Amino acid sequence: MPHVVLLRSLHPDAEARLRAEPGFTVETVLDTSRENLMRAMEKAESIIVRATPINADFLSFSPALKHVARHGVGYDAVDVPTLTQRGIPLTVTADANALSVAEHALMLMLTIAKQVKTFDTNTRAFKWSTTDAPTAYDLSGMTVLVVGFGRIGGRVARLCAAFGMDVLVHDPYVPMNTVKGAGFRYAKTLQDGLAEADWVTMHCPSNAENRGMVDERFLGSMKPGARLINTARGTLVREEALAAALKSGKLAAAGLDVFWEEPVSKPNPLFDAPNVIMTPHSAAGTVQGMRRMGMSAVSSVIGFFKGDLDPDMVINKDVLRGNA
């Protein structure tokens, strides 16, 4: 009888689906203090996790754990090598949040381009139209560099094209013909794309190869007056360098949904930088997005115990080969 622990609540439809599965028992842990986790993990065979770090300490008191389902696509806080050593598959909700995050990226772009924040402030202060009006502009005709051409980056590219933008794509893991076949231009090198783009939007995972990639060199290679959007992972961006680029005027603006340390609980250099729109890692948190992620995570849990796990959702596929 599989015992599943939910580390934080799920969408009601997803939780109901899991609880209705014959033979499954389900426990929800809202207070994820170490003491509560230790108690809950004594019996847990599978978990659905959102923000709780799955590290060596956590795994040390999880003797029955057989499967980890991430409620989302990022797994920075998961000790994947240790899971693999123990034969524990890590699944993500690979397709579930792509639409929500892509729309959020466009929202940040439009908020910046149309100067929504300033116009809202002016309107509330009875400053009408041309009084202290900021300069707004259209996305159409501008060039955007999409860094990362996966599920989310691909959607963002299509949305940008629908707004009449010239779409460049850089992804060293995607063949040039794939990008061109989708109707976009291919940036052979990151530097070439940065030099041409009016907007740069990040849609790649953060790992040992690219952590902190948006640094002084990256920002220095961007077109003067360009704008940066990051809805991917905060650890892609060196925040001090970005703040400096904004303050110097090298970059015109930035739109950020993710930060190096989350949740943000202490002063951040970007708080004092001009022309920054920030949201609290909320891009995927739409009603529909939460339902899709919840249902996907539950499907992985049920699929694991029924021997029908979708391999496309598994990060450490070596585990599957080892169990074949």
Q: What is the pLDDT of residues 29-72, one digit of tens each?
A: 999 999 999 999 999 999 999 989 999 999 999 999 999 999 99
Given the residues 227, 233, 238, 292, the one annotated as active site: 233
Q: 98-278 has which fold?
A: Rossmann fold (3.40.50)
Please name the residue that has the structure tokens 């899971």.
83
What distance in Å separates the CA atoms of residue 79 and residue 101, rounded to the nearest whole number? 25
- 196 a catalytic residue: no
Span(s) in the chain for CATH 3.40.50.720: 3-96+287-322, 98-278
Q: What is the pLDDT of residues 89-126, one digit of tens each?
A: 999 999 899 999 999 999 999 999 999 999 999 999 99
What's the whole-model pTM score? 0.91
Is residue 159 within 8 Å of 165, Cβ to Cβ? no
Is residue 69 within 8 Å of 301, Cβ to Cβ? yes
What kind of architecture, by CATH, is found in domain 3-96+287-322?
Answer: 3-Layer(aba) Sandwich (3.40)
Is residue 191 within 8 Å of 185, Cβ to Cβ? no
The per-residue pLDDT for 106 is 98
Give the pLDDT mean for 140-168: 98
Residue 296: closest CA among 99, 61, 28: 99
| DSSP state, residue 136 | P
Given the residues 103, 196, 240, 262, the one annotated as active site: 262
The per-residue pLDDT for 208 is 86
- 104 a catalytic residue: no
Which pLDDT band, with edges at 50, 70 and 90, does 323 fall under?
low
Residue 85 has pLDDT above 70, yes or no: yes
Give the pLDDT mean for 120-140: 90
β-pairing, 166-170 vs 185-186, is: parallel
Give the pLDDT mean for 277-299: 97
Given the residues 11, 155, 281, 292, the one annotated as active site: 281
- 185 a catalytic residue: no
The per-residue pLDDT for 324 is 45
The per-residue pLDDT for 243 is 98
Give the pLDDT mean for 78-89: 96
Residue 46: closest CA among 83, 85, 73, 94: 83
Percent of the chain scored above 70 by pLDDT?
99
